[in-house]
Structure 1
């Protein structure tokens, strides 16, 4: 019998953050073209949504699905649901994606001395914060996660 994982507040917060981001993506679909614009999806996505094309919906649903799966991995690592496959690997990948998304855009903006698009700055800060929460929670649970996989 696998011992239960101890609760981890950082991973519970990480799960909540990914779930909120996923629900926000679903709200963008319902909000339509103006929401695509407001949340920085770009004018091309907004115009496709205005024309009733399915592509923006599919892309945004795909992102929401990924974010929901990341929520489930955080909940699994926090011991709230049974261990998911490749749990440690998934946490490393999720953390890396959040941190790379956040830090790369911020670094490009700093190096180019261009802060023209506020969306990219604040969304990068958010992604960096999400990645940091995943990193701390994963680091704290790391030793327990190897036994949970058995």
Structure 2
């Protein structure tokens, strides 16, 4: 059993659930998690835009969680698991690194948002990467 991929799946699932929380609890959650004042205001005004964007992120994170669980052997094997994990790991690592460069030009978000979200994404990417390396020969 690949504990790194299990942890990776759990981390992505938690992130997905937190995104659902933003939909259900609205503007205060969007603000707390750093989605930006514009998203929070749209949520307060009843716009569907924040919901659709957040549901999209929830869906992606949920699928990523399933792929990690699949590679770990917790659920049935999903198609293109190795390729999916390479892509997922790369996205987490690239997003994590890119966020540090955005701290100086936050684009509606605080530098703290970019710092913490980058640390989180790098952590997720590292767990995925270690899990992928340990599982490589078993694909």
Matched, 1:77 2:71: yes
CA RMSD of superposed structures (Å): 1.5
The alpha-carbon deviation at position 113 of structure 1 amounts to 9.8
Q: Deviations over 1:3-42 (max 9, x none)?
A: xxxx100000000000000000001111111111111111
Cα separation, 2, equivalents of 1:61 and 1:113: 26
2:18 corresponds, among 12, 20, 24, to 24
- Structure 2, unmatched stretches of 5+, are none
Cα separation, 2, equivalents of 1:16 and 1:26: 15
Q: Deviations over 1:21-68 (max 9, x none)?
A: 000000111111111111111111111101101110011011011000
The alpha-carbon deviation at position 82 of structure 1 amounts to 1.2
Between structure 1 and structure 2, the one with the greater Rg is: 1
Misfit runs of 4+, over 6 Å: none
Q: 1:119 aligns to what SS in structure 2?
A: helix
- Structure 1, unmatched stretches of 5+, are 1-6, 146-150
Which residue does the alignment assign to 2:57? 63
Which residue does the alignment assign to 2:42? 48
C-alpha spacing 1:16/1:41, structure 2 compared with 1 (3 Å): same
Cα separation, 1, equivalents of 2:105 and 2:16: 31
Q: TM-score, normalised by structure 1?
A: 0.86
Which residue does the alignment assign to 1:14? 8
Matched, 1:143 2:119: no
Cα separation, 1, equivalents of 2:36 and 2:60: 20
